[in-house]
Amino acid sequence: MAGAKSASVLCLDVGFSMSNSAPGEEPHFELAKKVIQKFVQRQVFAETKDELALVLFGTDSTKNSLDQDGQYQNITVHRHLMIPDFELLEEIENQVHPENQQADWLDALVVCMDLLQTETEGKKYDRLNISLLTDLNTRASSEQIDVIIENLKQAGITLQFFLPFPVEDDEESGRDAGRGSPGHPGMGKGLSDEQKSSVDIVKHIMLNLDEENGLDEVYSFRNAIEQLCMFKRIERKPMAWPCQLTIGSCLPIRIIGYKAVTEERLKKSWTTIDAQSNKKDDVKRETVYCLDDDNETEVQKDDTIQGFRYGSDIVPFSKVDQEQMKYKHDGKCFAVLGFTKQNTIRRHHFMGTQVIKVFSAKDDEHAGVALSALIRALDELDMVAIVRYAYDRRSNPQVGAAFPCIKKDHECLIYVQLPFMEDLRHFSFPSLENNKKFTPSDAQLSAVDSLIDSMMLSEENDNGEQEDMFKVHHIPNPAFQRHFQCLHHRAVSPGTPLPPMEAWLKAALECPEVIAERCQGPLEEVKRKFPLTEVEKKKKLKTSAQIFGKDSGEPDAKMAKGDEEEDYNLADIAEGSVTSVGSVAPTKDFRTLIKKKCLPFGEVCQQLICRLEQLLSNKNTSYFMKSITCILAFREQSVELGDANLYNGYLRSLKKSIPNRGLEVFWDLLVQDAVTLISKDEVKGSSVSKTEADQFLVTEEKIKEAAAPPADTGDVDDLLDMM
């Protein structure tokens, strides 16, 4: 099992035709490069043992082991087979460029095959794969093609093509490719003769390798990028748990259990490092034990013993004693206690954090029959087995239910833990049904009824089957997606603030658009029929942070509105953690720094401006909001400290740069909020008069008319280009 890994070669065409592009589109090379980047990223974060090699063809130089007698020219093995890392990502980013030669893509394929065969020799791989990314714009010599196919088959190498255009099955679409997607980007002016003949060869190869689905492995660059956007979901190898299901003492059935559903965690956790050296070895953490006296007298760890509370008593109970007296059992078991009706097991009583599927032992036909008899008997009687389950000697036994599960291709028991008496909390709640105050009227009920109608997520499709529009178990865990997105961003563009959440991820978590639209009417009705009024809260207990916030002259509601990050955090301030204006909560840092007066005002302002510029360079509304709060804070503190020059100076230069940077949208926001220069009225030292300050925003109208509409939201990568 240890050798379950794959080896793949990415074979990228960097020849000159790859820099071509249809008007208004990215060059094929850039798209292909993105595909490779996303692919490698996924591998790096998945931390599989899968190995990767990178072969470039169409390079100016030649570097491969088959290079002889003018054969296999302009093909470079850029990286040999190994586990991909960030170095490779950086190399792809910085060293892989379009070059000026063309090379035969079939030759490149042969080089890849040779590489795979020599470098995997003597090791175990469960999959060998070559991915070819090319525009097929070279005439390939097809003489060798059958030999190549034969070799691929023999070596068990699978092949994937990534092309700038989609390839359709001849029989389905006839000769005019692109039936399914008219105007598919990348088609450009149609295919060249070289491309047409190459496409034929590709088809020939792919259909020879797999008659049925060969062409499924031919992708267009665009589709590939979309699919690769999602970080690979975390895969875990299921661990088999062999055991015996017992009924009484005389009826054992050999079984094997697998964890089927459990909340997956990220494999890696954060390590604490020294902020200066970035080394974790520089940070050491130590725990000391203190008596509860006034001096907090320290005692040695060796002088402490373990104890437990028993109500108000404290009972010394050493680890050794505890180990000796603790509950012991015979270890691994899956023993039936009895059988009961399925409806006595309530779904909301399911305990634990996992579901185990139980099959019969491998290669044991008789156990299979016995288990099948049990599963079917339970199913027919609508019953479940209540079992005692213990994973092994060290873990505590549980009580749980084993439900029968019969699927088209397999049968199994599904085990879920049930509560112990100690786990149940018998809360009683006032009845909702018997309370006249809360009983909804018929009109109210029917409003809710139509809301449910409009928001049903499963609908009958044309075939009369129920179709689910929103399958939660198909959504990747957004926490992981976001985590990797941020890690990746930080790795490739250090020093820039974290990117906003990706649009597709946000959309995946929202109500489907159809539903959102359809429910508008019924929702309005519900709104009308059910008056909901927020109860004015009696004074809440203030947390120290809130109190602190008030005392420190926290700006009024407008500033703090909806932005939790602006909350003061007592701990942060008290511990003096803020030393510079950070990117997460720049306004907060800014205020804190000014309050603490440990840095000169000018420097703190400079830091804030720096962050502001960073934020603005990433043209995105959510960043705009943050930028505005920054500017507001800048203004407020300047007024408070009576120093208007820095602020006014910055705002003027910002205004000037608006048209060049396409930040009109942002400027509009400033105008709306009437954020203008600081006038003499506010700060004596200011050189700006009140009218001048008012005028400052008005003149902007003209600029706006002249300016082009704001450009497309910038790519994350050029986040700092403006600086």
Partner 1 sequence: MAEWNKFYHNEDDEEEQEEGEQSGGDSKITGRDSLVFLVDASKEMFINGEDGQLSKFDMTMQVVRNVYTSKIISSPKDLMALVFYGTEQSKDPSKSFKHVYVYHDLDSPGAKRVQDVDALRGLKGAQLAAETMGSGKTSFSDALWCCANLYSDIKLRLSHKRLMIFTCRDEPHGGDSGKDRQARTKAGDLKETGIVIDLMHLLKPFDVAAFFRDIISPPEDESELGLQLEPCEKLEDLNKRVRAKKLEKRANARIHLCLGEGVNVAVGLYSTVKAARKPSPISLYRETNEPVHTKTRTFHTETGSLLLPSEIKKSQVYGKKQIVMERDEVDAIKKFEDPAMFLIGFKPMERLKRHHHIRPAEFLYPEEDEVKGSACLFSALLTKCHERNVFALCRCISRRNIPPRFVALVPQKEELDEGKVQISASGFHVIYLPYADDIRTLDPPECPTASQSQVDKMKEIVSKLRFKYRSDDFENPALQQQYRNLEALALDMMAPEDTEDLIMPKVEQMNDRLGPLVQEFKDLVYPADYNPEGKPAAKRKPADAGGGAEKKPKVEVPEDELRERAQNGTLGKLTVPVLKEACKKFGVHTTGNKKQELIDALVAQLGQ
The residues in 537-596 that bind partner 1, with binding defined as CB under 8 A, are 537, 540-541, 543, 564-565, 571-572, 575-579, 582-585
219 strand-pairing partners: 162
Least gap, CB of 701 to partner 1 (angstroms): 33
| Cβ–Cβ under 8 Å, residues 132 and 108 | yes
Cα–Cα distance measured from residue 500 to residue 716, given in angstroms and rounded to the nearest whole number: 9
Rg of the chain on CA atoms, in Å: 34
Question: Least separation, in Å, of the C-beta of 361 and partner 1?
Answer: 8
Cβ distance 644 to 682 under 8 Å?
yes
Report the nearest approach of partner 1 to the CB of residue 65 (Å).
Answer: 17
User: Which strands make up the sheet holding 157-163, listed edge to edge?
Assistant: 75-82, 51-57, 6-13, 127-133, 157-163, 218-220
Q: Which is nearer to partner 1, 68 or 396 (CB)?
A: 396
Closest CA to 47 of 358, 200, 268: 268
**Closer residue to partner 1 in complex, CB, 39/403:** 403
Tell me which of 263, 462, 551, 705 binds partner 1, using CB under 8 A. 263
User: Which residue, among 644, 480, 677, has the nearest Cα to 46 in the 3D structure?
Assistant: 480
Smallest separation, CB 10 to partner 1 (Å): 15
- In the shown chain, the binding pattern of residues 395 to 414 toward partner 1, with x for contact by CB under 8 A and - for none, equals -xxxx---x-x-x-xxxx-x
Spatial separation of the C-alpha atoms in residues 166 and 379, rounded to whole Å = 48
Residues 6+ apart with CB under 8 A from 125: 3, 5, 6, 7
Residue (63 or 280) nearer to partner 1, CB: 280
Instruction: Print burial letters for 63-76: b (CB count within 10 Å at least 16), e (below 16).
Output: ebeebeeeebbbbb
Binding mask 327-366 for partner 1 (x = CB under 8 A): x-x-----xxxxxxx--xxxxxxxxxxxx-x-xxxxxxxx
Dihedral angle sign, alpha carbons of residues 243, 249, 253, 258? negative
From the list 154-162, 252-260, 549-557, 604-612, the region that binds partner 1 by CB under 8 A is 252-260
8 Å CB contact between 184 and 243? no
Residue labelled with tokens 């692919």: 39
Shorter beta-carbon distance to partner 1: residue 89 or 152: 89
Q: Does the protein bind partner 1 through residue 120 (CB under 8 A)?
A: no
CB-hemisphere CA count at 13 Å for 175?
4
Q: How far is the CB of 609 from partner 1 (least distance, A)?
A: 20
Q: Which lies closer to partner 1 via its Cβ, residue 36 or residue 202? A: 36
Stretch touching partner 1 by CB under 8 A, among 169-177, 295-303, 644-652, 662-670: 295-303
Distance in Å, CB of 368 to partner 1, minimum: 4
Minimum separation from the CB atom of position 461 to partner 1 (A): 15
Please identify which residue in 14, 32, 35, 89 interacts with partner 1, judged by CB under 8 A: 89
Report the C-alpha gap between 361 and 371 in whole angstroms.
10
CB of residue 469 vs partner 1: minimum separation in angstroms?
A: 8
Looking at residues 429 to 458 of the shown chain, list those that interact with partner 1 (rule: CB under 8 A). 429-435, 437-440, 444-445, 447-449, 451-452, 455-458
- The bridge status of strand 241-247 relative to strand 333-341 is parallel
State the Cα–Cα distance between residues 569 and 544, nearest whole angstrom.
9
Q: Which residue type does 173 have?
A: S
The least distance separating partner 1 from the CB of residue 313, rounded to whole angstroms, comes to 4
Contacts of partner 1 in 456-485 (CB under 8 A): 456-458, 466, 468-470, 472-480, 482-483
Residue 323 binds partner 1 (CB under 8 A): no
Nearest to 14 by CA among 137, 102, 140, 113: 102
Burial 623-648 (b: 16+ CB within 10 A, else e): bbbbbbbbbbbbbbbbeeeebbbbbb
- 267: contact with partner 1 by CB under 8 A: yes
CB of 358 to partner 1, least distance (A): 11
* CB of 78 or CB of 635, closer to partner 1: 78
| Footprint on residues 8-47 left by partner 1 (CB under 8 A) | 44-45, 47
Residues 141 and 197: beta-carbon distance below 8 Å: no
Confirm if 59 and 3 have CB atoms less than 8 A apart: no
Instruction: Tell whether residue 419 is a contact of partner 1 (CB under 8 A).
Output: yes
Residue nearer to partner 1 on the CB measure, 407 or 684: 407
Q: CB 648 → partner 1: shortest distance, Å? A: 31
498 binds partner 1 (CB under 8 A): yes
Residue 281 engages partner 1 in binding (rule: CB under 8 A): yes
Query: Residue 63's beta-bridge partner residues?
Result: 76
Q: Give, as ranges, the residues between 178 and 237 that touch partner 1 (CB under 8 A).
A: 233-236
One residue of 9, 218, 367, 633 binding partner 1 per CB under 8 A: 367
Contact 351, 418 (CB under 8 A): yes
List residues bridging with 388 in a β-sheet: 335, 399
The distance of closest approach from Cβ of residue 628 to partner 1 in the complex, given in angstroms and rounded to an integer, is: 19
Can you list the alpha helix ranges (DSSP code H) found in 47-144? 86-95, 105-119
- Total residues at the site for partner 1 (CB under 8 A)? 229
Residue type present at position 474: H
Determine if 92 is a binding residue for partner 1 (CB under 8 A).
no
Does 268 contact partner 1 by CB under 8 A? yes
Looking at residues 645 to 674 of the shown chain, list those that interact with partner 1 (rule: CB under 8 A).
Answer: none
Select from 34, 80, 204, 332 the one that contacts partner 1 (CB under 8 A): 80
State the angle between helix axes of 478-492 and 28-46 in degrees (0 to 180), rounded to the nearest 10.
110
Stretch of 31-39, 216-224, 240-248, 676-684 lying at the interface with partner 1 (CB under 8 A)? 240-248
Residue 89 C-beta: closest distance to partner 1, Å: 7
> In the range 369-398, which residues lie near partner 1 by CB under 8 A?
369-374, 376-378, 380-381, 383, 386, 388, 396-398
Residue 665's nearest CA partner among 712, 720, 719 is: 712
Q: Considering only the stretches 146-154, 254-262, 626-634, 677-685, report the one whose residues sit in contact with partner 1 under the rule CB under 8 A.
A: 254-262
Enter the tokens of residue 710.
């704001």
Q: How far is the CB of 517 from partner 1 (least distance, A)?
A: 12
- Of the two residues 169 and 467, which places its CB atom closer to partner 1 in the complex? 467
- For partner 1, which is the closer residue by CB, 226 or 468? 468
Give the integer Cα–Cα distance in Å for 148 and 112: 11
CB of 589 to partner 1, least distance (A): 9
